[in-house]
Structure 1
Amino acid sequence: MAKAFASQGDMEEKQVSFTQVGEGLWAFTAEGDPNTGVIIGDDSVMIVEAQATPRLARKVIEKVREVTDKPISHLAMTHYHAVRVLGASAYGADTVIMGEKARAMVVERGQEDWDSEFARFPRLFQGHEEIPGLTWPTTTFNDRMTVYLGNRRVDLMHLGRAHTAGDIVVHVPDQNVMFTGDIVEYKSACYCGDGHFGDWPKTLEAIRAFDLDAIAPGRGDALVGREMVNAALDSTADFVRSTYRPAAKVALSGGTLKEAWDAVRAECDPKFSDYAIYEHCLPFNVARAYDEARDIDTPRVWTAERDAELWNALQD
């Protein structure tokens, strides 16, 4: 490979924050690394997003133990990506929840995604030897399910395709707080390599309709207050549209992937180049936008080999 992925050179440890987003609700964030949510019920705890390894999951557990000694009974994962799910074994949760579509994507491409992300994110996969294998849910659903942590109600919903075809969100109605996974980001690039550009803005509007008091996004700081929530929804939608439009224009006029890359950079660099993981996401985002514009509805499977081929093709 002529040049390493941006994420391969990112080996600096990130500063962890643990932010309260509602009564008994917390967001574990780390400067643009994958976030994890914590929902404390009457008798037990639900974790939202597992982290990439048991090593990273234990950092979450350390923070949880600063605020509660209740057992972790449930683990919910918003989608199938390796950096979100492979730390699951550390929590010891009896109930592991995914959307049915996300489980199907583990079957279809889970190992390939693990291999791909392992090569892209060496820092996140330190301690990978502890990962026991692919993470499988014990419980799945299609459109909606509700979990009661004692009296605390937690609604898990599929609101539409966005970051992947199987994204779910987790809503705690007593505080009107939502854990969105990578459907919403804050000052962090959206990874669109497995995304659905045409559906993503509609899914964001479905989230906006809840008129939320806080969001724990997939990456970036916790969003507390409606002004911050709406700003993040707006900036995420702008990122998605600004990536797709120039790539689609090139693809539909018969241009090359490299020309699409140049067009997206011209549109997005001035607005988003200071966002976390921007450089890492860009080649995958352009490739997926180029494909979607040519009516490839199902994102092609990323492998370590395909990653390298794409990156080399864009270096000329």
Structure 2
Amino acid sequence: MAEYPFPDPVVETSGAVEIASDLVVVPNQDVDLVPNIGVIGGTHSVLVVDTGLGPRNAAQVLAFAAEYAKGRRLYLTTTHFHPEHAFGAQVFAGEATYLVNRAQADDLAQKGAGYLAMFTQLGEPVARELAGTQLPTPDVVFDDGYELDLGGRTVRLRPTGRAHSRGDQVVTVPDAGVLFTGDLAEAGQFAIFPWFPPHDTDVSGLRWIRVMERLAAEPHRVVVPGHGGIGDARLLAEVRDYLSELREQTWRRRDSAMSEETVVEEVRALMVERHPEWRMREWIERGVGCLCAEHEELAAHEARTEQDAEHAADA
């Protein structure tokens, strides 16, 4: 098992901060594999957004949420299926109703076991938190979005379509102007591209850009990213612009028939130069790999389209 050179991935609920009336965030304190967790209240119910990594973290989150709820009904949703966001949901069984979009439910069922095995090998602190993890089965699965009435407050759960994962979902609290993005947006770090060919190639840089364009055009007052500090709508524009920049710089070099290895080297150096303060530089290479593959897919599609047009003309 690899050495784990980072702080233990433990959720600290004592650091919870209120960002709107009856709405708190347990911040990740810039600790790797700890997400920002939301607890959103209404008059009769409370919604928890994301669980933390594994059952021990989730037990802390559940205890915090139950105390916060003071007898109100509990709900749980997760922004996507990755382990630090959803692999504690088993703890909420019988205590909260677990709601997710269908693509995320499919990810949990089809890819959860592989991700559990992969993350367990990241190091002893991660394996310890994941010990005893059972992949959850959601109580409610929806297709086109879900409006959850908490009592005097409606929270919207909106699937975005394939981007960071197949089952990405954003959570909006319209009356407070708050958006939870999951890993569609991070603050102070490079975008996480879970590009692991041939095992997982569901991330799409092109679709991700389109999702961020839509989110950045909406009027959000507070943006809670998957990881990093809480921000505002400028964070959405920053992520959109970075992803667009990464695509432009990658495709410009692939158009010139540059090798992927050289593209990675040059684009990584450029991104670090332009964002020297950002963490998690290792994700640049995977982002370039994803966008190189999408460049090839587009070129192949254009070639087939051209051939079809030629055949049609000959006929």
Aligned residue among 19, 22, 27 for 2:20 = 22
Alignment of 1:52-67 (within 5 A): 52-61=53-62, 63-64=64-65, 67=68
* Pairwise CA distance, 1:232: 0.6
Residue 214 (str. 1) matches residue 217 (str. 2): no
Q: CA deviation at 1:100?
A: 0.7
Farther off after superposition, 183-192 or 114-123: 114-123
Pair 1:165–1:128, CA change in 2 (3 A): closer
The amino acid of 1:116's aligned partner reads M
TM superposition shift of 1:286 = 2.8
- Structure 2 unpaired stretches of 5+: 195-201, 299-315
Q: Identify the residue that residue 277 of structure 2 maps to in structure 1.
A: 274
Q: Percent identity?
A: 23
Supply the distance in 2 between the matched residues of 1:195 and 1:39 (Cα, whole angstroms): 29
Cα distance, 1:236 vs structure 2: 0.9
SS across alignment from 2:100: strand
Describe the superposition over 1:190-216 as per-residue Cα deviations: whole angstroms up to 9, x where unpaired: 112242211222212322333012121
The residue identity in structure 2 corresponding to 1:96 is: Y
Name the amino acid aligned to 2:251.
Answer: A
User: Is 1:9 the equivalent of 2:5?
Assistant: yes
Match of 2:292 in 1: 290
In the superposition, relative to structure 1, how do residues 15 and 115 fare at CA in structure 2: closer, same or farther (>3 Å)? closer
Instruction: State the match for 1:313 in structure 2.
Output: none
Shift of the 283–124 alpha-carbon distance from structure 1 to 2, 3 Å rule, reads farther
Which residue in the other structure is 2:213 paired with? 205
Q: Which residue of 2 aligns with 1:169?
A: 170
TM-score by length of 2: 0.80
Equivalent in the alignment of 1:258: 261
Amino acid at match of 1:170: V
SS where residue 120 of structure 1 aligns? coil
> For residue 101 of structure 2, what is the aligned residue in structure 1?
99
SS of 1:294 mapped into structure 2: helix
Contact 1:186 1:219 survives alignment (8 Å): yes
Q: Please list the CA deviations of residues 85-134 of structure 1 after superposition, one character each: whole Å capped at 9, or x if unmatched.
A: 11112234432111111112223322122222333365444332231x21
Is the CA contact 1:159–1:206 (under 8 Å) kept in the aligned structure 2?
Answer: no
- Cα distance, 1:67 vs structure 2: 4.2
Encode CA deviations 1:57-86: one digit per residue, 9 max, x unaligned.
234345446644235621111111122111
Q: For the structure 1 residues 113 and 245, does the alpha-carbon distance in structure 2 shift closer, same or farther, using more than 3 Å as the test?
A: farther
**Higher RCO, Cα 8 Å, sep 6+:** 1
Deviations 1:150-175 (A, max 9, x none): 33211111234321222111111221
**AA in 2 matched with 1:137:** P
Answering whether residue 232 of structure 2 is matched by residue 233 of structure 1, we say: no
Find the aligned partners of 1:121 and 1:292 in 2 and give their Cα distance.
Answer: 32
The one-letter amino acid of 1:165's match is: R
Cα separation, partners in 2 of 1:122 and 1:46, compared to 1, 3 Å: farther
1:226-272 deviations in whole A, cap 9, x for unaligned? xxx12211221132223333333444444443223202212211233
Relative to structure 2, which stretch is displaced further, 54-63 or 40-49?
54-63
User: How high is the TM-score relative to the length of structure 1?
Assistant: 0.80
Deviation at 1:34, TM superposition (A): 1.6
Q: Select between 35-44 and 88-97 the one with higher mean Cα deviation.
A: 88-97
Deviating beyond 6 angstroms after TM superposition, the runs of 4 or more aligned structure 1 residues are none
Distance 1:121 1:24, change over 3 A: farther
Match of 1:31? Answer: 29
Determine the C-alpha separation between the residues in 2 that align with 1:19 and 1:28.
Answer: 6
Deviates more, 1:214-223 or 1:248-257: 248-257
**In the alignment, which residue of structure 1 is the partner of 2:80?**
79
Unaligned runs of 5+ residues in structure 1 are: 224-228, 297-316
Cα distance in 2 between the residues matched to 1:271 and 1:208: 21
Deviation at 1:14, TM superposition (A): 7.3
Aligned 8 A contact 1:190 1:236 in 2: yes
Deviation at residue 24 of structure 1 after TM alignment: 1.0
Quote the offset at 1:180 in angstroms: 1.3
CA distance in 2, matches of 1:72, 1:283: 44
Aligned counterpart, 1:49: 50
Letter aligned with residue 26 of structure 2: F
Aligned-partner Cα distance in 2 for 1:14–1:55: 9
Residues 79 and 99, structure 1, Cα contact 8 Å, conserved in 2: no
Higher Rg of the two aligned structures? 2
